[in-house]
Structures are given as C-alpha cells and as structure tokens.
C-alpha cells in the first residue's frame, strides 16, 4: 500500500510512473532485460538519454546555447565542481539564505577566493536579503544562489540582479520543475534528482556554453563540464536507471500540461498548508516571511513542542510519513513536491486541523 510521503528527499515519486517501471522492469521494450542491464552505448539507451534531454528542454524552454548534463555525485559534488569549473583564478560571490547555500559557500572556499555577498543568517534564514543589502563584486566569476532552501523553507520568487557579465549560478535541487523558470537568466542551473525529479544518484546541470572550458588544470575529467558536454554526459557510464526514470517523469509532466499547469497545482497545494497554519490561531507557526515561503518545503512548529511526538504518532496512524522537521529547525516539515497529490495534502491539513482542535 502507498502512504503519503512528505519526506524532503529522497522523496515521493508518482505512483503511475513507478507502476510503469515495475511493469517493464524485467523486460524493457522487448529486450528481455531491465533498463539497468543494457549497454549505455547501445541505441536503446542512447534513445532514452536523448529523449530525456529533449523533453527537459521542452519543459523548461532551455535555449539552444545551453548544454544539459546528466551527472553523478549529487548537488553536494556540484558545490565543489562549480568553483573548479568556473572560478578561473578569480573570486565568486555567494548569497547565503539557508543551510544549503551556506554549505555551497563553505565548500567553494577550498578552491579559491569566494565572498559572502549577502546573508540572512542573522534572521535565522527566514527571508532573502534585499537588493540594497547585497555587496556584489562587479568582477566576480559568478554569483551563486540557492533558489529554494529545502531545510528552511525559503524560496526566491525574484532573482537578485547580478552585475553585468556576472553569471547567476543556482542550486534548484528542491524546486526545479515546480514552475516555469527563465533559464536564460542563469549561467548555470543544477539540481540533484531525488527531490523533484527521480532517484538519488543523478544530478542535472544546465550550463551556458560560453562558461565551458575554464576548468582549473587539476579538475578530474569526469568533473569537467566541457569534457562531459563533448561526450554527451557519457565520458564514463552514466547513472542509467536514474536517467531512464527522470525521462519518464519529464514525459509525465508534459502530459500534465507542462510547468504552467504543474505550478497551478503546486500553488493550490501550498496554499492549503499555509492556510491551515494561518488559521490555527498560533497553534502552528511558520517562521518564514510571507514573500519567501516555499511552495515545496513547509516547515512549521507547534506552539507547544511537547506535542510534537503526539502529532507525529497521529500522522503515522493516518499513513502520513516524513513530517519530522530537520534537526536544525525543529518541529515539522511538509515537503510537497510535484508528486505529492492534492489528496495527500488534504490528509495532512485534516490532521493538522483535527489535532489542533483537540489539543489547543
């Protein structure tokens, strides 16, 4: 039986897609093998990676002067790979709006000069710094942001304006494909798959072509974007199962009507949860300033933390899992990615209202 999984990641995947995977697991497209067992260089699999890329390009409207790379190592590896590829002996700017961008900033310090261009840490990461708070380096190699902070539940709906010629680099791991994004505003976008795309082990990098070829000399070949781009992400064996599953997810999103339709559904789901918090008379609380509240990750605390365990126990009874908040924030966190259904969100809101009515 499928439960409602609110985990931040690895996270819920659409049941329909998993059923297709199950149905073709032992005999994929009449090959008599699973997709995991076929050569990545054979035409069956190259067809998979090519259509996954084509569908992602359609979904996101990726311009032709961008490369799409299907890589391994997760978003955390990108924290290192980005400075290795883009720093080019210069400095880079980081805006820190939560745990993930802070980690990216720290990791980049191993590779050269990086600057903190803005931070909301003094406000416990409950907002995005405003334009006039930023101290931007006009000569920076890039400006790094995290457009959705998975742990703190902070989403950027307006992008910072990078100085002319400074490419914006964005960690979109936990909200890529949740709404339309204007790819042309970025130099590089990256996202680990296990939040809103597919299984862990795959990371997608979308990079503007003029940023390729600047990697430092010690960059391993498998970590050099230019080398990976020249080899169609297949310098070595790519994460084939992850790419196959991501491709099925892309087709499913296209069938839903693309990212405009997906966004409407995500707005409706997030609204239900935030309304439940707002109408609880202070029983539940979300600390994030309203303009920056994430549609994907909704952290909330109970006014009386002594009730946390009871809340989680009742959630488990109702087949709702993954609601325990991150240890650094406490309380609860509902991750309501694309694949979380409206029914799942309604079940959560029912629990929240019912629990508050009995315990307030």
Ligand X SMILES: *Cc1c(COP(=O)(O)O)cnc(C)c1O
- Would you tell me which residues interact with ligand X (CB under 6 A)? 9, 74-76, 100, 146, 150, 171, 173-174, 192, 195
Q: Say whether 16 is catalytic.
A: no
Q: Where does residue 177 fall: left (phi above 0), alpha (psi -120 to 50 degrees), or beta otherwise?
A: left
For residues 302 and 336, which CB has a smaller minimum distance to ligand X in the complex?
336
Least Å distance, CB 178 to ligand X, is: 12
**How would you write 112-127 as a 3-class SS string?**
CEEEEEEECHHHCCCC
- Distance (Å, whole) CA 93 – CA 104: 11
For residues 148 and 219, which CB has a smaller minimum distance to ligand X in the complex?
148
For residues 192 and 238, which CB has a smaller minimum distance to ligand X in the complex?
192
Pick the catalytic residue: 28, 67, 93, 195?
A: 195
For residues 75 and 228, which CB has a smaller minimum distance to ligand X in the complex?
75
Cβ neighbours of 71 (radius 10 Å): 21
Tell me the HSE value of 353 on the side-chain side, using a 13 A CA sphere.
Answer: 13
Residue facing ligand X at closest CB distance: 74
Paired with 93 in beta bridges are 115, 143
Least Å distance, CB 201 to ligand X, is: 8
Q: Say whether 182 is catalytic.
A: no
For residues 144 and 214, which CB has a smaller minimum distance to ligand X in the complex?
144
Q: Say whether 195 is catalytic.
A: yes
Least Å distance, CB 149 to ligand X, is: 6
Least Å distance, CB 211 to ligand X, is: 20
**Largest interatomic CA distance in the chain:** 63
Pick the catalytic residue: 55, 93, 171, 224?
A: 171
CA nearest neighbour of 331 among 349, 351, 306, 314: 306
Assigned token pair, 175: 């909200």
Least Å distance, CB 195 to ligand X, is: 5
Tell me the HSE value of 158 on the side-chain side, using a 13 A CA sphere.
Answer: 9
Query: Residues with catalytic annotation?
Result: 100, 171, 195
């Amino acid at each position: 039986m499928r439960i409602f999984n609110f985990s931040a990641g690895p996270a819920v995947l659409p049941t329909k897609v998993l059923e297709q995977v199950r149905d073709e697991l032992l005999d994929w497209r009449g090959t008599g093998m699973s997709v995991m067992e076929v050569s990545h260089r054979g035409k069956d699999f190259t067809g998979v990676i090519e259509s996954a890329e084509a569908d992602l390009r359609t979904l996101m409207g990726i311009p032709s002067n961008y490369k799409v790379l299907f890589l391994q190592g997760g978003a955390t590896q990108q924290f290192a790979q980005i400075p290795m590829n883009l720093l080019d002996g210069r400095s880079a700017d980081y805006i820190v709006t939560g745990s993930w961008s802070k980690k990216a900033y720290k990791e980049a310090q191993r590779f050269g000069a990086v600057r903190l261009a803005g931070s909301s840490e003094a406000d416990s990461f409950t907002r995005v710094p405003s334009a006039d708070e930023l101290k931007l380096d006009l000569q920076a190699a890039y400006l790094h942001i995290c457009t959705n902070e998975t742990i703190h539940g902070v989403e950027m709906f307006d992008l910072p304006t990078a100085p002319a010629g400074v490419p914006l680099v964005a960690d979109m791991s936990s909200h890529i494909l949740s709404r339309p994004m204007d790819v042309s505003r970025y130099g590089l976008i990256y996202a680990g798959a296990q939040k809103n795309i597919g299984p862990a082990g795959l990371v997608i990098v979308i990079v503007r072509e003029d940023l390729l070829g600047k990697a430092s000399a010690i960059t391993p070949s498998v970590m050099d974007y230019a080398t990976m781009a020249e080899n169609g992400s297949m310098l070595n064996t790519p994460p084939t199962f992850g790419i196959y599953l991501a491709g099925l997810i892309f087709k499913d999103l296209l069938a839903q009507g693309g990212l405009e339709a997906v966004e409407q559904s995500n707005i409706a789901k997030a609204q239900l949860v935030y309304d439940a918090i707002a109408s609880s008379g202070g029983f539940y609380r979300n600390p994030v300033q309203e303009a920056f509240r994430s549609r994907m990750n909704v952290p909330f605390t109970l006014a009386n933390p002594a009730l946390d365990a009871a809340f989680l126990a009742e959630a488990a009874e109702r087949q709702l899992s993954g609601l325990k908040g991150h240890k650094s924030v406490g309380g609860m966190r509902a991750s309501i990615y694309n694949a979380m259904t409206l029914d799942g969100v309604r079940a959560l809101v029912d629990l929240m209202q019912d629990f508050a009515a009995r315990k307030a």
